Structure 1
Amino acid sequence: MKRFIGFVTKEFYHIFRDKRSMFILFGMPIAQIMLFGFAITNEINNVNIAILDHSKDTETQKIINKISASPYFHIEQEISSETQIESIFKKGKVKAVLVFQNHFIKDLQTKKQAKVQVITDATDPNIANTITNYINAILQNHLQEVNRNNLPTYQIQTQTQLYYNPELKSVFTFVPGVMTVILMLVSAMMTSISITREKELGTMEVLLVSPLNPLQVILGKVFPYIFLSVINAIVILTLGVFVFGMPIQGSLFLLAFESILFIITALSLGILISTVSDSQQTAMMLSLMGLMLPVIILSGFIFPISSMPLPLQIISNIIPAKWFIIIIKAIMLKGASIQIIWKETLILIGMTVFFIGLSIKKYKIRLE
């Protein structure tokens, strides 16, 4: 019995000394529950909307003030004409436009009813529905306050218009999101085991004494997977278009360029994981556990980033998948050009350069 207790005690010492095991046992559950608890929500918060007020009277101003005071919406800008609506939707920052008709207060007082149009960016149908319901609730609350001393009561009619996805097909969100997740995880996992495989097979020494410099080794590891991942992307897009009816409103050339750029970003991240891992098992764990949850939760694929706490919103900016989802939705659903998505494109290019540069640095360290 003493031998058994001694053996168990030894195992406890081994576990406590292994920082990775301690992190998996205690760190990962805490990180996951915090991430899921704060990020997973069907509510919306701080959604950017725009106002088009043709009437500009005291009643519309009261409604605008009530919406602005709500934690659900942030009035990003006020526009002057309908021609501006599509351009601000294409930029992706504004999710809805509230349009007040001419002579709003006059119609309310004389006809006892007035009209408000809610125009939403329906590339994400769930968010579009939620926005409409929240705005309707605020308008009804305002009417209850106004109608306390009015007989007959006033009415506000809400007209809804959906941009880019009038039928509210969830597949319009599903296909870009799944394509992003698959390309990110598969590409990163494939390359994350490339250099660690060399170490485990004992062929790393051959690379170390070869005339190839670190940049050539890194690019050589990445290049074959670019071709394979491009085939993956083509298959996903083909299924999306011909099986699920996913539209491609923008340029195919631009879509191909952005997809290849994202693939290279994911592959370079995988190479970075590979250079800092000692075994294929460690590399797979880092690529799966370290990428899967952030890509799914913090990319905006399923849950709106604007509804998350500020720290998670900040962290989401370092997730490459977030920027690619914005890009692919803008191209496929909105027909956006490079003038609209240049910022997101530059961010992906910057991330790629950073990952490759850091991989080369880590590789050089191992050469010494």
Structure 2
Amino acid sequence: MKRFIGFVTKEFYHIFRDRRSLFILFGMPIVQILLFGFAITNEINNVDIAILDNSKDATTQEIINKISASKYFNIKQIIQQENELESVFRKGKVKAVLNFENDFSKNLIKENQATIQIITDATDPNTANTISNFVNSILQKYQQDQNKGIEIKYIIIPEPRMAYNPELKSVYMFVPGVMTIILMLVSAMMTSISITREKELGTMEILLVSPIKPFQVIVGKVFPYIFLSIINAAVIVLLSIFIFKMPVQGSLFLLGLESILFIISALALGILISTISKTQQTAMMISLMGLMLPVILLSGFIFPISSMPLPLQIISNTIPAKWFIIILKGIMLKGVGLAFIWKETLILIGMTVFFIGLSVKMYKIRLE
């Protein structure tokens, strides 16, 4: 036991002496969570728009003032003629143009309806759709204010309520995803590189014929990364709570246990990668390209899985990150307990056992 503890201590010293490893372990997670939290967002604020007011009456001016007063839009330009639309959009600064029809106020009074054309730059479809929805929301609010005290038969007023994220903050979506990416990459990549380094230098065989048992060698190489990954997970959760004000509705203890389970799963995957890699460069490439792209694209982190073709939906079930993101969102945002996430937990346990079993089998083949 003393030999094993000494071996683990040696691994800790080895990690702390390697500045590149320290940066990957502690620098990359903090940088990524801050970038995703502050820079990457699907919300809109101060979007530049242009106005084409063909009517120029009191009603159109009132609507323009309401839109201008909103924090979501900044009126960048007033267009005089419709043939200016193309040149305005081509400059790339204006994302939408509101086109008020002729005699807007007169039509509103005489015919009880008037038209505002919302023209958006759909080179970014998501932003264009969001802008259109926000403008429609402002116009509906204006319409309701104008119709106060007027009896309108059979009117249906939808009252949307956003459960678990009423302010539609994108950070609530990104934090679980970023936490998953960081734990997967750091755990799998660092473990695969650490073990492959020993194989590349020819020292793994020396370790395996030492008085320490082969299983203890593998566990000793992996244990420091379990400990350091747990620290990473704690740092991410603390940053999300205190900087991004993200709530954790569920049990922190359950969140910790599920995170440890996912970390062990990622570490087992890292060991598996090291069995098929002869060099550190190969291990790093497999970890980055073979793990990062599936985690981002097929885990439901950014793109909804239900919108994907059926073959990709089936493949996504083999990605451990998909199940961990469901668990994180359930605990952090919905406040659910194990009774609601037991299926995802069992799937992660099954994947972890499979990765460990396959890794042990392949190590026996390679290092006997």
Residue deviations 1:79-133, cap 9 Å, x none? xxxxxxxxxxxxxxxxxxxxxxxxxxxxxxxxxxxxxxxxxxxxxxx9xx99xx8
Aligned equivalents of 1:213, 1:276: Cα separation in 2: 22
Tell me how far 1:312 sits from its aligned partner: 0.4
Please give the alpha-carbon distance, in whole angstroms, between the structure 2 residues aligned to 1:234 and 1:204. Answer: 32
Equivalent in the alignment of 2:325: 325
Q: Equivalent residue for 1:289?
A: 289
Q: Does 1:366 align with 2:356?
A: no
Which aligned pairs between 1:133-148 and structure 2 lie closer than 5 A? none
CA–CA distance in 2 between the matches of 1:330 and 1:256? 13
Q: 3-state SS of the aligned residue for 1:274?
A: helix
Aligned to 2:298: 298
- The CA deviation string for residues 231-257 of structure 1, in whole angstroms up to 9 with x for no partner, is 111111110000000101100100000
Larger radius of gyration: 2
Alpha-carbon distance between aligned partners in 2 of 1:211 and 1:346, rounded to the nearest angstrom? 36
Deviations 1:30-60 (A, max 9, x none): xxxxxxxxxxxx9xxxxxxxxxxxxxxxxxx
Report how far residue 275 of structure 1 moved: 1.2
Superimposed CA distance per residue, residues 6-52 of structure 1 (whole angstroms, 9 cap, x where no aligned partner): xxxxxxxxxxxxxxxxxxxxxxxxxxxxxxxxxxxx9xxxxxxxxxx
Aligned to 2:269: 269
Q: Give 1:177 shift.
A: 0.9
Q: In the alignment, what sits opposite 1:185?
A: 185
Give the deviation of 1:211 after TM superposition. 4.4
Structure 2 partner of 1:226 = 226
Report deviation, 1:351: 0.7
- The offset of 1:213, in angstroms, is 4.3
Q: How many residues align?
A: 223
**Aligned counterparts of 1:213 and 1:310: Cα–Cα separation in 2:** 46
Specify the SS of the correspondent of 1:311.
helix
Give the AA of the match of 2:271: I
Matches within 5 A, 1:35-114: none
Paired residues of 1:191 and 1:271 also in contact (CA < 8 A): yes
Q: Where does residue 347 of structure 1 map in the other structure?
A: 347
2:203 alignment counterpart: 203
Task: Give the distance between the partners of 1:218 and 1:359, measured in 2 at CA.
Answer: 10
Q: Tell me the SS of whatever aligns to 1:302.
A: coil
Gaps in structure 1 of 5+ consecutive residues: 1-41, 43-125, 137-151
* Deviation of the 1:311 alpha carbon: 0.5
Match in the other structure for 2:356: 356
What is the rounded CA distance, in whole Å, between the counterparts of 2:214 and 2:300 in structure 1? 35
Gap regions ≥5 residues in structure 2 = 1-41, 43-125, 137-151
- Cα displacement string for residues 257-314 of structure 1 (whole angstroms, at most 9, x for unaligned residues): 0011111111110111011111111101100110110000101000000000000000
* Inter-partner Cα distance in structure 1 for 2:349 and 2:170: 30
Give the C-alpha shift of residue 208 in structure 1: 3.0
Correspondence for 1:334: 334
Q: In the alignment, does 2:304 pair up with 1:308?
A: no
TM-score between the two structures when normalised by the length of structure 2: 0.58
The answer as to whether partners of 1:195 and 1:274 remain within 8 angstroms in 2 is yes
Q: CA deviation at 1:207?
A: 2.4
**Offset at residue 210 of structure 1 (A):** 2.9
SS in 2 for 1:169: coil
Identical counterparts, % of pairs: 79
Q: CA deviation at 1:220?
A: 2.0
Contact 2:248–2:331, Cα closer than 8 Å, also in 1: yes
The Cα of 1:355 is off from its aligned counterpart by 0.6
Normalised to the residue count of structure 1, the TM-score between the two structures is 0.58
Render the CA deviation track for 1:123-165: whole Å, top value 9, x for unaligned. xxx9xx99xx8xx9xxxxxxxxxxxxxxx99653322111111
Contact 1:296 1:302 in 2 (8 A): yes
What is the aligned partner in structure 1 of residue 156 from structure 2? 156
Amino acid at match of 1:272: L
Q: Deviations over 1:304-342 (max 9, x none)?
A: 000000000001011111000000100011010000000
